[in-house]
Every structure is written in C-alpha cells, then in structure tokens.
Amino acid sequence: ISRVRDLVAQYQGTARIQDTISLTLPREENSAAITQQLSGIAGATGVIIQSMSLQSQALRPSRANGASEEVKAVGVSEISLRLLGTYEAVKAFLASVETNIRLMDVISFRAEVPSRAAAATTLNYNMVINAYYQPE
C-alpha cells in the first residue's frame, strides 16, 4: 500500500510539472491567449497598445544533443507591437513580458518621438516579440 501511495504521489507531481510546462510552452499557438496576455500586461503597466499584429512562422526544429534524440519542432508566433507610454511604463512592460509564464522573447525594440509632441515624457515604441509553442 505504501508503494502504491508513493507512486500516486509521484504521478501527481508529474502532472503538476506537465501543467506548468504546458503553460510555458503550450501545445498550440493560441493567438487569443497571446493577445490577452500582452493586453493584460500593457494594462497593468500603463502602456497603450496602438497596434498589434500576429504572424505564425514556419516550424523550426529544436536542437538535439545527440543524433539518437528525437528532434521536435518548435512553433513561433511573431508579434509586432506599437506602444505608447513613458520609459518607466515600457520598462515595466518589458520586465513583465520577461517574467510571464509563457515563453517569449523580445526580438527588436525601437523608441521614437511621437509626431505630435503630446507630452515630453511619452514615446512611441516599436517592438517584435516571439512567443513559442510546441505542436503535437
């Protein structure tokens, strides 16, 4: 009975690990979830999303350490964002993207002065973020 209990406890721990991995590297692209996460981060940090576009990239094979290992493809969703905000707000936005549960990285980042100088502290930011998933 104690062995069965140990096995059950071990499998329950595995299920929790699998759930966490599924949040970090989901099995599908789920554009709506990506959009929702980035919109939530923007709202929480005081950044205004002026535009957002999402484009699916071709599947990329992941790296394997040895020839005998199975190589799984990794899907990439490229998100182009145009943001408006203060430096502090965009800095907080980037920190939140970096610590978000879903695996994402910032590919490019550019700041520019708005054409209409609404406020000296507010800038436009263009960035590209990659969000990853591992299709079945």
**Predicted model pTM:** 0.75
pLDDT of residue 24: 77
> Is the model more confident about 80 or about 6?
80
Surface-to-core class of residue 125, CB atoms within 10 Å of its CB (0-12 exposed, 13-18 middle, 19+ buried): buried
Q: Are 73 and 59 in contact (CB under 8 A)?
A: yes
pLDDT of residue 48: 96
> pLDDT tens digit string along 28-86?
888 999 999 999 999 999 999 999 999 988 776 666 555 555 667 888 999 999 999 99
Is the pLDDT at 95 greater than 90? The verdict is yes
DSSP of 19-59, one letter per residue? HHHHHHS-SS--HHHHHHHHHHHHHHHT-EEEEEEEEEPPP
Please tell me whether residue 124 adopts helix, strand or coil conformation.
strand
Q: What is the mean pLDDT of residues 81-95?
A: 95
